[in-house]
């Protein structure tokens, strides 16, 4: 075997192990918002990849646009890499999911916020994609949430789905607020 092939295999193995370690760490330590601890955000590896793409794209663009003999493909690739890095940063900035007792609030990667009460869920499905369980929930209004349930802790939503499967109805909000409990006394 040549030295170049051994080096390539070593780098590929190291990169694979690093990505696996980051994925394991991200599952064990969900990225919660400091302002709103109920909100779970994308793993911190996403902005790292975004900044990496942005910096590599800018360096590549600097060389491609500064050189008169640089091929057009290098210029196009540098712009595409910069745009990809900006997309990763925008996705990280925009997305969150906040499962609650009777609803799930979330913001999609484009920045649109939704609050989906469990009582408005019309369809739900768990499927395995690339060895990971993905939950897809759709409301009666067409709002759709799809996410990896190993990466995001949506235990209240999963409990509501279990409740729905057991009883045939979704858990409802309490008819009496917490402030009213204990105020009424019998005759």
Domain 97-167, CATH class in plain words = mainly beta
Token pair 């942005």 is found at 54
How far, in Å, CA of 170 to CA of 102, rounded?
9
Q: Which is higher by pLDDT, 165 or 179?
A: 165
Q: Over the Cα atoms of the chain, what is R_g? A: 23
User: What band does 39 get if pLDDT is binned at 50, 70 and 90?
Assistant: confident
What is the rounded CA–CA span in Å between residue 108 and residue 145? Answer: 8
H runs (alpha helix) in 29-170: 45-66, 72-94, 155-167
Which residue carries 């996410």 as its tokens? 147
Give the residue-averaged pLDDT of 27-50: 74
pTM to 2 decimal places: 0.67
pLDDT tens digit string along 136-171?
Answer: 999 999 899 999 888 888 888 998 899 888 888 888
169, exposed or middle or buried, with CB in 10 Å at 0-12, 13-18, 19+?
Answer: exposed
> What's the full length of the chain, in residues?
187
Percentage with pLDDT > 70 across the chain:
84
CA angle 47, 153, 104 (to 5 degrees): 95
Label the pairing between strands 113-117 and 121-129: unpaired
Indicate the average pLDDT of the chain. 82
pLDDT for the residue numbered 178: 46
Burial of 43 (0-12, 13-18, 19+ CB in 10 A): buried
pLDDT band at 48 (very low <50, low <70, confident <90, very high): confident
CA dist., res. 167 & res. 165, Å (int): 6
């Amino acid at each position: 075997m040549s030295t170049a092939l051994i080096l390539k295999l070593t780098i590929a193995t190291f990169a694979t192990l690093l990505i696996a370690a980051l994925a394991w760490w991200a599952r064990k330590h969900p990225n919660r918002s400091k302002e709103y601890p109920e909100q779970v955000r994308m793993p911190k590896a996403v902005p790292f990849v975004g900044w990496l793409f942005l910096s590599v794209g800018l360096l590549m663009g600097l060389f491609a646009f500064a050189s008169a003999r640089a091929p057009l493909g290098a210029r196009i690739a540098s712009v595409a890499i910069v745009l990809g890095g900006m997309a990763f940063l925008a996705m990280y900035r925009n997305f969150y999911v906040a499962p609650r007792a009777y609803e799930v609030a979330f913001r999609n990667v484009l920045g649109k916020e939704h609050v989906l009460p469990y009582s408005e869920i019309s369809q739900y499905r768990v499927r395995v994609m690339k060895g990971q369980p993905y939950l897809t929930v759709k409301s009666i209004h067409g709002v759709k949430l799809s996410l990896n349930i190993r990466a995001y802790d949506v235990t209240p939503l999963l409990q509501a789905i279990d409740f729905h499967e057991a009883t045939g109805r979704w858990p409802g909000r309490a008819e009496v607020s917490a402030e009213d409990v204990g105020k009424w006394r019998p005759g």
